Amino acid sequence: MNARPVTLLIAAMGGEGGGVLTDWIVGAAQRADLPVQGTSIPGVAQRTGATTYYVELWPETHAALGGRHPVFGLGPSPGDVDVVVSTELVEAGRCCERGFVSPDRTTLIAAARRVFATSEKAAMGDGRFDAERVMRALRELPRQALLFDPDRLPDAARGVSLNALMLGMVAGSGRLPIPLDCYRDAIRAGVAAEANLRGFEAGLALAAAPPSPAAETTRARPGLAGLLDQAASDLPPEVLAVVDIALPRLTEYQSEPYARLYMERLRRILAVDPAPGGLHRLSAEVARHLALWMAYEDVIRVAQLKSSSTRFAEVRAEVRAKPHEPVQVTEFLKPGVEELASLLPPALGRRVVAWAERTGRTERVHVAMRVRSDTVLGFLRLFLLARLRRWRPRSLRFAEEQAAIEAWLARIAAAAQRGEHALALEITACARLLKGYGETHRRGRSAFALVMAQAVDSARPGDPAAAGRVARAREAALADPEHRTLAATLAAIAAEAAPAPLARAAE
Amino acid sequence: MLAFGYIPRPGGVMERSFAKEVALLRRGQGEMFEGEGILAIAKALLQSGVSYVTGYQGAPVSHLMDVFADAKPLLQELGVHYEPAANEAGAAAMLAASINYPMRGAAVWKSTVGTNVASDALSNLASAGVRGGVVMVVGEDYGEGASIIQERTHAFCMKSSIWLLDPRPDHPRLVELIEQAFQLSEASSTPVMAEVRIRACHMRGRFTAKDNVTPAISTKTPLTTPDFDYGRICLPPSTYVQEQDKVNRRFPAARAFIAAKGMNEVLDGDLDEVGIIVQGGHANTLLRALARLGLADGFGASRIPVLVLNVTYPLVPEQVTGFCAGKRAVLVVEEGNPDYLEQAIAAALREADLNTRIVGKKVLPMAGEYTAETVLKGLARFLEGAVPRGVDLERVGEVLAASLSPGERARALIGAPLPARPPGFCTGCPERPVFAAMKLVQKELGQVHVAADIGCHSFATLPPFNMGNSILGYGLGLSSAAAVAPMFGERRTITVMGDGGFWHNGLSTGVTAALQNRTDGVLVVMDNGYTSATGQQFIPSSTADEGATRPRISIEQALRAMGVTWVKTQGTYVVKDMVKTLREALTTKEKGLKVIIAQQECQLARQRRIKPQIAAALKAGKRVVRTRYGVDAATCTGDHSCIRLSGCPSLTIKENPDPLRRDPVAHVNNDCVGCGLCGEVADAAQLCPSFYRADIVGNPTKRDLWIARLRQRLIARLQHFAEWRAPA
């Protein structure tokens, strides 16, 4: 009573061609005269959600069975699946959690790539699931794992469809008792046979020589600007790595003196960084956030980035235009009244902002521009906007940002001097809240101000709980765009920091 | 020159073809049929000589409707009438033909929701009884992948005296059982339902076909005399007689037929101290579980006796007691609640004074799908409790532990809940912008109660929209807001309904009542041209099947004819226009029902239609402009507001290329169909300048190339100037 069907489970997302892959396998088995049954749960599950397909086949031909019919199951059973195919990493993890990947039986064929779920994408900061957790299971559980990164395929496998490639890997794994030519015939019976046959052969090759899973890419870093070599030469390596990127960026953003100002500010922190264990983590983090903050995004910066000489190549690559195909690019720019007023001299700009605020125009008045940046006149608009760079130091926004930066640095330096290293780090990290444009930026700025006022400035110097409170407040600010969580957290912090008089009396 | 921008309404090509499936329906005696379960059933209907077929689409049985719609020539040859009904009530009512005339008919729908809608007609049909065989194929949408309320069709059959088949999922047996169902129906004058679960509908297998049977009464050999018999009218006193007839004649006749034809199957086994009674639909799952425990072979020979109930209503008491007699304990494998079978079996044993112990929901869960894992665990618990002689319990425990431990280990290794991936709107779905607009309007005017409905648009209840306060059934959205609207006073409610729901029930139930009662509120009808969630079937307002002979009914005209004065038809992709229309509907002084027809073709259908056209045009060397959107990673700051307002699958995130930043940046992947929503949202919500639109000119003309080169040259000059002047 030991004979059993060979079983295969495909985990995919709706619209990925899992149904076609199932059909190919069923078709190939039928061509090999093997009893086979495939099932799926399409319907609404198909609309981009996670779904599975399941195949059972008998390792003896109809002819050999002489009229006996195997009983096939309709769904996978834990510990009883021979081959698991997954088009995505988390879905492979789901198969493991449901017990379909077992050490004594299962060959796992998986695309080690992430397709992010809505909950991961919609987070205000970084909501991505830690893929390493899944990798731990994928390394340990299967009897055999064939993992590959679809973005780093050998040349022969470029541009083929994922399901054809995976069919080749299923065939190449040798776990199904189906001759290779039966798979090929099954593909020929369908659409786009030629391209899919190519994918199948590439998959066969991939199964025979599986590439090692994606290595961390090393990022190319521009060299240090010559003039600043010397100034940077005495920095600790972890700080230098950031400064290395920051100096050329700020020089491009504004000017060389502006980059010098960055160095000067950074050295102030370096001087008070206690560097526990010899590691200048605080300085490195300040270096990173300071560079981003000093290169804040305004209309001028956007125009500069969108008119840079490397950008068109990037766009062409991104949209996969062929070399001879012209690409027309339309930009959607819609600076609001506040963003425009912030370019005016401080005195005038403040009056405009106040007027807009008073008359409720802050969120309603904006200049909508659709700029065709591939045309000469459209490009010229961006180009001229970018030239306003020289004007920037005289603008309201510049004055405000520099003041805010100084205040932030002063808080960090003060905490570091008091020996509150953890608090200094947490204050530094709050700069993360400042990002975006228009309303997003307003929201971030107000969250930053609230956290500074109610979690940093209100803290008793030397309070060991202060760092934790700042961290909590910062995470809360990223929990929802309406700042409901932030308000609740700050209220809780206020209550903690100042215990109620009654409670004190009870002590 | 071809440009594929927004095509407001489609025209031309029929977008899907089921020619291959139709060819399967033509297979004759001795030929092999290889295909899905639901198609095998379609073939069984033709082999049974049906005169007519009707139904209403819904997963998992839509495919049968699709194939019949494409099989017109074959059906005409056979004289079979096929008519998709306006809803399940209409389909069930059509079965009345078999009350009066000895012709066979079939209907399909999704259950239990479809059966709910059909139930008025079903009660009458079952009371009157049928002369011609009637089989209703219902897709039992239960368990993984189900999209509806989790209930059992079984209850309907019990209350109306309709026989229920739950066929073993095996193609040859499935086809044979459908054929027998017609005979059973005729032998007992009773309509028969066959419930088929999701996986069984989509199960691919094969069977040896028979010739299709030309019905005696058909469109080719029509009726001549109308039948009149007051006994078939569902009015007193006939209804009293009909009820007696059910009990005194139809039940016994059915039981006799089921037993005589061997519709249920008994598998003998040597370990006959115990036994198992299983719903036919779960027989394979059970036999595989037995095989894993070493108690069955791969071909269904079980060592423990099994009674497979391919007919779960009515039970044949003698069959049950005969099976249970002499056994210490019997396991009942019955999915869902209440446990009708277990109760009925226990009652039959009591009546026969047998003291066999019945074990069912004690070892198997009362609620939820009976997956392979559930059945394996339940079976093991039963064996451990019953301890039948000859069963190696140690092995049972080992198999169970070995099966369950990898999953436990994986959960420990992963150690955090994996992100869920529920279904959602497709890439470029035209319904998404409506909800983005609703989100923006609510930010401005305050939150409103949103009555949702059944259809793709109910995905709006999920993140990132989280919109929709209740769902009460297909086309019932407007009615479900009827008591909510007055309680909100000046703040109007919004009902969202699809065009499918509108024609199914929304117009007759919701709109009519709203007009009659002068209800103040806003109704948004998603007019995408199909019942999209069920697989893009045509509805009265569809325009895609150009050249079809049926008349097209406009939603707007229907509403105006009924007296709705505030009706606006609005394309969906331009978010700021949709915002404006919504704002107006919510704030206008005009009282009464205000209807916005949000009109844009289903993107899935549109892509299926235009993709081959674009490919052909490109191949033919024609100039084709394709549009898609992108995000400048350098200007994106990783806040993801755009994603929270759109949720498009092609708008995703990627590692931030800026080594100084940690939060991932937004990114448009290559599935983008260029609907433009992300740019629209960024614009309407004043989010950020990172989005750009790229129009890529395929097969450019000489002029295109010349202009592009000129522009490039001049722009490069400017860039050179700027970057040379910049301090190093």
CA–CA gap between residue A275 and residue A425 (Å, rounded): 11
Please give the ipTM for the structure prediction.
Answer: 0.92
Domain boundary among A295, A330, A359: A295
Q: At B318, list the tokens.
A: 């003698």
Question: Who's near B683: CB < 8 A, 6+ residues apart?
Answer: A332, A334, A368, B575, B576
Q: A101 to chain B: which residues are within 8 Å by CB?
A: 406, 410
Q: Note whether A289 and A260 are same-domain residues.
A: yes
CATH number assigned to the domain comprising residue A106:
3.40.920.10
Give the range among A103-107, B61-65, B520-524 with minimum mean pLDDT: B61-65
Q: How far is the CA of A253 from the CAs of A222, A249, A390, B589, B656, in angstroms?
A: 15, 6, 10, 52, 19
pLDDT digits (tens, 9 = 90+) for B335-351: 999 999 999 999 999 99
The pLDDT, as a whole number, for residue A507 is 41
Q: Under an 8 A CB cutoff, do B644 and A481 touch? A: yes
Residue A506 lies in a domain: no
The reply to whether A316 falls in a domain is: yes
SS3 A35: coil
Q: What is the pTM of this model?
A: 0.91
User: Which among A148, A142, A147, A79 has a CA at the least distance from the CA of A107?
Assistant: A142
Q: What is the pLDDT of residues B301-345, one digit of tens each?
A: 999 999 999 999 999 999 999 999 999 999 999 999 999 999 999
CB proximity under 8 Å: A 422-461 to B = 432, 435-440, 444
Measured between alpha carbons, how far is A273 from A267 in angstroms, rounded to an integer? 10
Token output for B393: 């319990």
A504 within domain boundaries: no
Tokens of B456: 């793709």
Same domain, yes or no: A196 and A98: yes
Mutate to test the interface with A, among B637, B655, B704, B723 (most CBs of A within 10 A): B637
Task: Give a yes or no: residue A376 inside a domain.
Answer: yes
Structure tokens, A453: 């006022």
What is the number of residues in chain A? 507
Q: Which residues of A touch B203 (CB under 8 A)?
A: 37-39, 74
* pLDDT score recorded for residue A365: 79
- Examine the domain organization and report whether A57 and A74 are in the same domain: yes
Range of the domain at A452: 398-499
Residue B215 phi, psi (nearest 5): -70, 150
**Gap between the Cα atoms of A173 and B318, Å rounded:** 52
SS3 A364: coil
Contact flag A42-B698 (C-beta cutoff 8 Å): no
Q: Is residue A144 located within the same domain as residue A195? A: yes
Question: Is A445 exposed, middle or buried, given 0-12, 13-18 or 19+ CB atoms closer than 10 A?
Answer: middle
Q: Considering only CB atoms, which chain A residues are within 8 Å of B402?
A: 79, 102, 104
Question: What percentage of residues in chain B have a pLDDT greater than 70?
Answer: 96
Last residue of a domain, which of A295, A325, A345? A295
Residue A309 placed within a domain: yes
Nearest to A77 by CA among A59, A45, A52: A52
A79 and A97: one domain?
yes
**Nearest CB partner across the interface for B692, out of A51, A125, A330:** A330
Number of neighbouring beta carbons within 10 Å of residue B632: 21
pLDDT digits (tens, 9 = 90+) for B618-644: 999 999 999 999 999 999 988 898 899
Average pLDDT over residues A346-365: 86
Digit-coded pLDDT (tens) for A48-67: 788 899 999 999 999 999 98
Of residues B145 and A178, the one with the higher pLDDT is A178
DSSP state of B246: I
Which one-letter DSSP state was computed for residue B247? I
Q: Span A168-190, mean pLDDT?
A: 96
Residues A319 and A364 in one domain: yes
Q: Check: CB of residue B699 under 8 Å from CB of residue B623.
A: yes
The CA distance from B516 to the nearest CA of chain A, in Å, is 35
Determine the pLDDT at residue A230: 57
Query: Residue A97: which of B411, B664, B712 has the nearest Cβ?
Result: B411
Tens digit of pLDDT for each residue in B179-214?
Answer: 999 999 999 999 999 999 999 999 999 999 999 999
For B42-97, write each residue's pLDDT tens digit: 999 999 999 999 999 998 898 899 999 999 999 999 999 999 999 999 999 999 99
Chain segment A384-425, per-residue pLDDT in tens: 999 999 999 999 999 999 999 999 999 999 999 999 999 999
From A301, A362, A359, select the one nearest A337 (Cα to Cα).
Answer: A362
Q: Is A341 in the same domain as A225?
A: no
A104 touches chain B (CB under 8 A): yes
Cα A200 to Cα A494: distance, rounded to the nearest angstrom = 63
Given an 8 Å threshold on Cβ–Cβ distance, is A128 in contact with B289? no
A436-456: pLDDT as tens digits: 888 888 899 999 999 999 999
| Residue A263 shares a structural domain with residue A175 | no
What is the nearest CA distance from B664 to chain A, expressed in angstroms? 6
A297 and B CB contact within 8 Å: yes
pLDDT for position B370: 97
pLDDT for residue B2: 39
Query: Which of B144, B533, B664 lies nearest to residue A126, judging by beta carbons?
Result: B664
**Claim to verify: residue A332 and residue A254 sit in the same structural domain:** no
Q: What is the mean predicted confidence (pLDDT) over B436-449?
A: 94
Task: Tell me the chain B residues in contact with residue A327 when contact means C-beta distances shorter than 8 Å.
Answer: 694-697
Does one domain contain both A361 and A406? no
Rounded to the nearest 5 percent, the helix, strand and coil shares of chain A are 55, 10, 35
**In total, how many domains does chain A have?**
4
For residue B513, the model assigns a pLDDT of 96
pLDDT at A370 over 90: no
Averaged pLDDT, B128-139: 98
**Chain A residue numbers touching B372 (CB-CB < 8 A):** 73, 75-78, 80
- HSE (side-chain half, CA atoms, 13 Å) at B482: 17
| Better-predicted residue by pLDDT, B498 or B21 | B498
Mutation test of the interface with chain B: which of A60, A162, A299, A319, choosing the one with the most B Cβ atoms within 10 A? A319
Nearest-CB residue to B663 (from A125, A374, A438): A125
| Furthest C-alpha separation in chain A | 95
Q: Which of A364, A394, A424 is the last residue of a domain?
A: A394
Same domain, A20 and A91: yes
Domain-located, residue A507: no
Nearest CA in chain B to A224: B728
> Per-residue pLDDT tens for A199-216?
999 999 999 886 655 444
**Cα–Cα distance for residue pair B590/B585, rounded to 1 Å:** 9
In a domain? residue A1: no
Residue A188 included in any domain: yes
Mean pLDDT, to the nearest integer, of A425-443?
Answer: 91
Query: Phi first, then psi: what are they for B570, rounded to 5°?
Result: -140, 125
With a cut of 70, say whether residue A229 has pLDDT above it. no
* B509 pLDDT above the threshold of 80: yes
Best of B65, B414, B718 to substitute, by most chain A Cβ atoms within 10 angstroms, is: B414
Closest CA to B679 of B614, B602, B627, B612: B627
**CA angle, B518 then B522 then B528, to 5°:** 125
Dist. CA A173–CA A196, nearest whole Å: 18
Phi, psi of B662, rounded to the nearest 5 degrees = -110, -40
Q: Is the pLDDT of residue A367 over 50?
A: yes
Contact B683 A481 (CB under 8 A): no
Q: What is the per-residue pLDDT for A47?
A: 67
Amino acid residing at B344:
A
pLDDT confidence of residue A212: 57
Res B555: pLDDT: 96
Pick from A232-236, A489-493, B45-49, B383-387: least confident: A232-236
Token reading at A136: 């731990």
- Continuous segment of H or E residues that includes residue A139: helix A131-140
Q: How close B4 gets to chain A, by Cα (Å)?
A: 15
Nearest chain B residue to A3, by CA? B298
Residue A377 and residue A325 in one domain: yes
Which pLDDT band holds residue B670 (cuts at 50, 70, 90)?
Answer: confident
Kindly list the residues from chain B whose CB atom is less than 8 angstroms away from the CB atom of residue A47.
423-426, 456, 459, 533
Mean pLDDT, residues A7-22 taken together: 90
